[in-house]
């Protein structure tokens, strides 16, 4: 699992259940049966208040997750090492030199918040880059 997928799974845990059903769908025996069955309605998109969720997590008050990708990853129980952040930068197509970790960390935090918002998260505007 990618690092960003792990972040999504921590923020949107119900998305994992929706994408990994417990039982496979029954196979239709003929074309008529397949067309006669009503299509399942699309899954409802639930907006997650990212700020409230993260603020409510144990340890949130001692971490600066609003500006630090390291603290955000720690809060989510993920590896926040430089190697992990470089991997996340690769996953999110960071086009700069990863040896400037301060610049990379700022970019990563903004990208993660922007992508959380794009995936149904309610993220404060000041956290989106």
Residues 6+ apart with CB under 8 A from 113: 50, 123, 127, 128, 129
Beta bridge partners of 122: 49
For the cut 70, the answer to whether the pLDDT of residue 112 exceeds it is yes
Q: Which two tokens stand for residue 104?
A: 């990379």
Residues 6+ apart with CB under 8 A from 41: none
Q: Which two tokens stand for residue 14?
A: 């119900």
Q: What is the mean pLDDT of residues 36-52?
A: 67
**Average pLDDT, rounded, for the chain:** 83
Q: What is the mean pLDDT of residues 71-98?
A: 97
- Answer yes or no: are the C-beta atoms of 124 and 49 closer than 8 Å: no
Q: What is the mean pLDDT of residues 41-63?
A: 84
Q: Judge if pTM exceeds 0.85.
A: no
Task: Output the pLDDT for position 34.
Answer: 45
Element (H, E) at 48: strand 48-49
Instruction: Choose between 82 and 29: higher pLDDT.
Output: 82
């Amino acid at each position: 699992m990618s690092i960003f997928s792990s972040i999504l799974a921590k923020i949107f845990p119900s998305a994992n259940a929706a994408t990994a059903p417990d039982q496979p769908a029954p196979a239709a025996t003929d074309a008529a049966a397949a067309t006669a069955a009503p299509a399942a309605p699309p899954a409802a998109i639930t907006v997650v208040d990212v700020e409230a969720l993260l603020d409510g997590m144990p340890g949130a008050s001692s971490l600066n997750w609003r500006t630090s990708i390291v603290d955000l990853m720690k809060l989510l129980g993920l590896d926040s090492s430089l190697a992990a952040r470089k991997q996340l930068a690769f996953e999110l197509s960071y086009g700069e030199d990863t040896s400037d970790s301060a610049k990379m960390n700022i970019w990563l935090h903004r990208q993660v918040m922007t992508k959380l918002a794009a995936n149904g998260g309610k993220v404060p505007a000041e956290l989106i880059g």
